[in-house]
């Protein structure tokens, strides 16, 4: 940022750019003048007489960082730099390449927890408290319908509940067992949300896209690794699960939400699974049946030949059970899921109430009725 020269005329405006991306902001380190060198600031500079503040902000970022941005807001202010000079900080987002410093000796992305620890210049410091709250809002994540998850940098923040200690113990156990494709627990943030590592990749909109055979096969191999890793997991005393229940002999802790909308897919390959808050006691077939419903998918009307082929693919890659066993488990598992959604909505569970906004559980019940009509023909083909 080029600060004003005291000899220049008064009533001039300086603009700074708070470049925000996924709950982080870009800070740049000055090299001059001597009394400001080493301090961190918002990139920017003086607004020319023929420019608007927005135009000056875009130009200064282009000159200082070689990237393009668009203005999306402004932080409260302005701040007085010296008599006759004021600083306004505009909130911008990148529209192209990553920034590269041309007039600073370093840049860094700061998440909310790092923001106030950075040695900011005095002119920029008044804007930081409001900016920190903005960064804590993060970027909403897609995938699933329970909602509430946001991305902040390389982390995910999610609301917690009575089930969170049990889920965190589960994830810690899986991490210690070396299971790939899971988020790691980092703690909680200033808003009391859990902080997990971010799994890169995209999820699959199961109403618009059918996961490819290779992705389905990889997900089934991962599901078997998960079940093997969780067999010796002992929940902490008094563990509570979102859908209730205690671990019984012959059971293990299932994911219970292992549909393709919770898969992380990178370059066409399965890379992990999100949203562990529904985890709880069950049997292996519970997870297999849920995956069959959402990812074969039995929830949609696809050709019987495709259903049969993909059910056989699932059990072959998982390495246990038969296609008929998985098929027969779907009605029970999905019926149970709709019962739990209804119970959660009656209890006021915010996540379950979010499902009501997308028509659940009625939508699933209607699809389940359609699947039941197809079951005799599917069973006969699978047994032939």
Buried b or exposed e, range 38-55, using 16+ CB within 10 angstroms = ebbbbbbbbbeeebebee
* 146 inside domain: no
Same domain, 358 and 279: yes
Query: What pLDDT is attached to residue 143?
Result: 57
Cα-Cα end-to-end distance for the chain: 74
Same domain, 356 and 237: yes
Same domain, 40 and 127: yes
Does 7 have pLDDT greater than 80? no
Same domain, 237 and 327: yes
Cβ atoms within 10 Å, residue 193: 22
Residues 42 and 69 sit within 8 Å (Cβ to Cβ): no
Query: What pLDDT is attached to residue 6?
Result: 45
* Share in percent of the chain as helix, strand, coil (round to 5): 40, 20, 40
Same domain, 126 and 243: no
Last residue of a domain, one of 112, 136, 160: 136
201: left (phi over 0), alpha (psi -120 to 50) or beta: left
Residues 48 and 98 sit within 8 Å (Cβ to Cβ): no
DSSP string computed for 229-270: HHTT--PPTT---TT-----TT-EEE-S--SGGGEEEETTEE
Write the CB contacts of 201 (distance below 8 Å, at least 6 apart in sequence).
263, 264, 265, 266, 271, 272
Domain of residue 252, residue span: 200-383
* 164 inside domain: no
Supply the CATH number for residue 254's domain: 3.90.1200
Q: What value does the mean pLDDT take over residues 190-216?
A: 95
| Dihedral, 132, 136, 137, 138 alpha carbons, nearest 10 | 110
Scanning 46-191, the segments in alpha helix (DSSP H) are 53-65, 112-115, 128-137, 164-176
* 222 inside domain: yes
Cβ atoms within 10 Å, residue 85: 22
Same domain, 123 and 241: no
Residues 138 and 45 sit within 8 Å (Cβ to Cβ): no
Cis upstream peptide for 273 (omega within 30°): no
Backbone angles phi, psi at 50, to 5 degrees: -95, 15
β partners of residue 41: 28
The CA distance from 164 to 251, in Å, is: 20
**What confidence tier does 5 reach under pLDDT thresholds 50, 70, 90?**
low
Residues 118 and 40 sit within 8 Å (Cβ to Cβ): yes
Same domain, 331 and 255: yes
* 185 inside domain: no
Taken as a whole, the chain contains a residue count of 384
Same domain, 132 and 205: no
Query: What pLDDT is attached to residue 1?
Result: 64
Q: Considering its fold, how many domains does the chain have in total?
A: 2
Write the CB contacts of 352 (distance below 8 Å, at least 6 apart in sequence).
146, 341, 344, 345
Question: Each residue of 25-74: pLDDT tens digit?
Answer: 999 999 999 999 999 999 999 999 999 999 999 999 999 999 999 999 99
The CA distance from 8 to 6, in Å, is: 6
* 162 inside domain: no
Last residue of a domain, one of 136, 152, 174: 136
* 190 inside domain: no
Same domain, 221 and 297: yes
Same domain, 215 and 106: no
* 3 inside domain: no
Supply the CATH number for residue 30's domain: 3.90.79.10
Query: What pLDDT is attached to residue 9?
Result: 44
Query: What pLDDT is attached to residue 360?
Result: 86
Same domain, 74 and 209: no
Scanning the chain, the segments in alpha helix (DSSP H) are 53-65, 112-115, 128-137, 164-176, 213-230, 284-295, 304-318, 323-347, 350-356, 362-383
- If one compares 146 and 325, the residue with the highest pLDDT of the two is 325
For the chain, give the mean pLDDT.
Answer: 93
Same domain, 130 and 204: no
CA atoms within 13 A on the CB side of 206: 23
Last residue of a domain, one of 136, 151, 174: 136
Question: Each residue of 207-237: pLDDT tens digit?
Answer: 889 999 999 999 999 999 999 999 999 999 9
* 150 inside domain: no
């Amino acid at each position: 940022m080029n600060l004003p020269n005291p000899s220049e005329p008064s009533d001039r405006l300086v603009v700074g750019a708070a470049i925000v991306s996924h709950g982080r902001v870009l800070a740049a380190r000055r090299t001059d003048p001597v009394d400001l060198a080493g301090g961190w600031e918002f990139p920017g500079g003086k607004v020319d007489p023929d420019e608007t503040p927005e135009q000056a902000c875009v130009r200064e970022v282009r000159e200082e960082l070689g990237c393009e941005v668009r203005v999306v807001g402004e932080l409260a202010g302005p701040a007085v730099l010296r008599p006759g000079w004021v600083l306004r900080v505009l909130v911008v987002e990148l529209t192209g390449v990553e920034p590269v410093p041309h007039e600073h000796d370093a840049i860094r992305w700061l998440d909310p927890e790092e923001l106030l620890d950075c040695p900011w210049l005095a002119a920029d410091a008044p804007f930081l408290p409001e900016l920190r709250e903005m960064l804590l809002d993060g970027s909403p994540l897609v995938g699933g319908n329970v909602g509430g998850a946001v991305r902040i940098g390389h982390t995910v923040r999610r609301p917690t509940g009575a089930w969170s200690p049990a889920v965190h113990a589960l994830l810690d156990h899986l991490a210690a067992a070396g299971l790939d494709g899971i988020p790691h627990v980092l703690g909680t943030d200033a808003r009391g949300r859990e902080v997990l590592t971010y799994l890169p990749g995209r999820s699959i909109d199961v109403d618009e896209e059918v996961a490819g055979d290779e992705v389905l096969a990889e997900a089934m191999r991962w599901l078997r690794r998960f079940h093997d890793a969780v067999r010796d997991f002992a929940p902490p005393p008094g563990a509570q699960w979102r859908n209730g229940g205690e671990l019984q002999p012959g059971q293990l802790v299932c994911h219970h939400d292992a549909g393709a909308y919770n898969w992380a897919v990178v370059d066409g390959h399965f890379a992990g699974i999100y949203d562990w808050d529904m985890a709880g006691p069950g049997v292996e077939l519970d997870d297999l049946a849920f995956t069959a419903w959402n990812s074969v998918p039995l929830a949609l009307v696809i050709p019987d030949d495709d259903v049969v082929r993909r059910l056989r693919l699932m059990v072959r890659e998982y390495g246990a059970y038969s296609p008929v066993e998985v098929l027969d488990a779907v009605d029970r598992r999905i019926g149970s899921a709709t019962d739990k959604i209804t119970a959660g909505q009656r209890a006021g569970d915010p996540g379950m109430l979010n499902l009501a906004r997308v028509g659940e559980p009625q939508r699933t019940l209607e699809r389940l009725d359609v699947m039941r009509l197809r079951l005799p023909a599917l069973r006969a083909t699978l047994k032939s």
